[in-house]
Amino acid sequence: MRFLAQDQLEAFLGHLAGQGRVVAPVKGADGVVLFRPWEPGMAVELDVLLAKQAPKDYVFRQSETYLRFGYQMEGVAAAGAEVTAATDRAHAVLKVEPQNDAPAQVIFGLRPCDARGFVQMDNVFGGYGGFYFDPYYNAKREATTLVAVTCRDPRSTCFCTAVGGNPAGTEGADVLMTQVEGGLTAEAFTEKGEELLAFVGFSEAGQAQTLYAETVKEQAVARVDVPFEIEGVRENLRANIEDPGWHDLCMRCISCGTCTYVCPNCYCFNITDEIVEGKGERMRTWDNCFNPLYTLETSGHNPREQKSNRFRNRFSHKFWYYPEKYDSLLCSGCGRCITHCPTRIDIREVLRFMGSPRSAAAPAGEEA
């Protein structure tokens, strides 16, 4: 285990910034903590447990240009020049320029649940032997090094241990740092991580520091609530698909996308061509299953017309269909969807309710 003194942190980040972009949780003037590109002089906020939004955006961009296209005239004679057979063939040629910008970056100060979110998205975007390989996601994923920091003080809304995670989890992290007295301990788990720890500011952690870090980790695990039993949730969600309880649970949902956009692993997207004056871009943007247009088909039919259908999808996707396909959950238990939901819909409550056996009853009532 390595050790970095607190006063060396800025130098370490500066060292990383010299090699590429550094993204870290930073507190804005309004007190809001978000992952932002770090610049020398910025204070990294590690005492606030979770940034408002997971750092997903830096790998899976909220809006990303796939390609630019437009027509370009070719074969046009220069002004005043005599038109010859060769130049009399002016025609428009479609030019397409693929885009895939993937700068080297280090995401510093994300939590183990955020790092695990990337692993869960990897299954979908196919980076690790998957069926469908997404070049945009994977280029950024490859260029990114994740430096996670142990959750010293989990919140009451954290439930990572219930979904197989750990507040000191290493899944997906290249380096795990732990705040101890006087600085941070660090452990690397990948080659990329080893390279970072080669920075001169690191020293070998003393016995006391190692012990401290291990204690922090153990205590953190003990502080995370286990609000539901994951065993059987998948089967019960399947069995309860027509349960009228969905209708009651979704009553206060306002169909916004907050939960999915702050989530470390919600990955749904849409593709749009935006064309202005003959030039355009094909763009991928985040989409979410609460959006009524999400499942709207060309024919005009919408298989998830009711709010309860859309609401049900988010939980079923995370705990039923995704697990069936990839043998892993699509939730790392960060609890952001609970704290940021404008109407305080609680995923734990939904899973306790719909993830347990319920008697089949009459179909849900009408709602638009």
Partner 1 sequence: MTHHNLTTFLKRKMPDPPGSRIGVCVKGCDSRTLVALLQENLIDKEKIYVIGVPCDGVVSRRRIEKAFNDEVVDISFADGKVTATTRTGESQEFAKDDLLFDHCKSCRYPNPAYADDLAADPVAEPVDQTPMWAGLEEFEALSPEEKDAKLAEVFETCIRCFACINVCPVCWCWDQCVCRSRKPALVSQRVGAKENLMFQMIHMLHVAGRCPSCGACDRACPVEIPLYLLHRKMNKELHEMLGFEAGLSLEGKPVFQTFDVNDPLGEH
Where on the chain is the footprint of partner 1 (CB under 8 A)? 28, 30-32, 34, 47-49, 52-53, 62-63, 153, 155-156, 247, 251-252, 254-258, 260-262, 270, 272-274, 283, 285-286, 288, 291-293, 307, 340, 342-343, 365-368
**Strands of the 183-188 sheet, one edge to the other:** 33-37, 21-27, 105-110, 144-149, 175-180, 183-188, 2-5, 202-204
Comparing CB distances to partner 1, the nearer of 28 and 135 is 28
User: What are the two backbone dihedrals, phi and then psi, of residue 270, each rounded to the nearest 5 degrees?
Assistant: -130, 160
In the complex, the smallest distance separating the C-beta of residue 269 from partner 1, rounded to whole angstroms, is 10
Comparing CB distances to partner 1, the nearer of 3 and 286 is 286
Contact 108, 23 (CB under 8 A): yes
d(CA 213, CA 185): 7
- The three-state secondary structure class of 51 is coil
Comparing CB distances to partner 1, the nearer of 210 and 295 is 295
3-state secondary structure 156-168: CCCCHHHHCCCCC
Per the DSSP assignment, residues forming a β-bridge with 88 are none
Comparing CB distances to partner 1, the nearer of 291 and 328 is 291
In the complex, the smallest distance separating the C-beta of residue 87 from partner 1, rounded to whole angstroms, is 37
In the complex, the smallest distance separating the C-beta of residue 270 from partner 1, rounded to whole angstroms, is 7
Comparing CB distances to partner 1, the nearer of 217 and 247 is 247
Comparing CB distances to partner 1, the nearer of 81 and 293 is 293
Comparing CB distances to partner 1, the nearer of 228 and 286 is 286
In the complex, the smallest distance separating the C-beta of residue 148 from partner 1, rounded to whole angstroms, is 19
Question: For 327, left (φ over 0), alpha (ψ -120 to 50), or beta?
Answer: left
- The three-state secondary structure class of 124 is helix
In the complex, the smallest distance separating the C-beta of residue 182 from partner 1, rounded to whole angstroms, is 19
Type of residue numbered 22: V
Comparing CB distances to partner 1, the nearer of 175 and 220 is 220
In the complex, the smallest distance separating the C-beta of residue 286 from partner 1, rounded to whole angstroms, is 8
In the complex, the smallest distance separating the C-beta of residue 288 from partner 1, rounded to whole angstroms, is 8
The two beta strands, 91-98 and 2-5, are unpaired
In the complex, the smallest distance separating the C-beta of residue 213 from partner 1, rounded to whole angstroms, is 20
CB atoms within 10 A of CB 30: 5
Q: Extract the runs of DSSP E, i.e. beta strands, from the chain.
A: 2-5, 21-27, 33-37, 63-74, 91-98, 105-110, 144-149, 175-180, 183-188, 202-204, 269-276, 279-286
CB atoms within 10 A of CB 206: 13
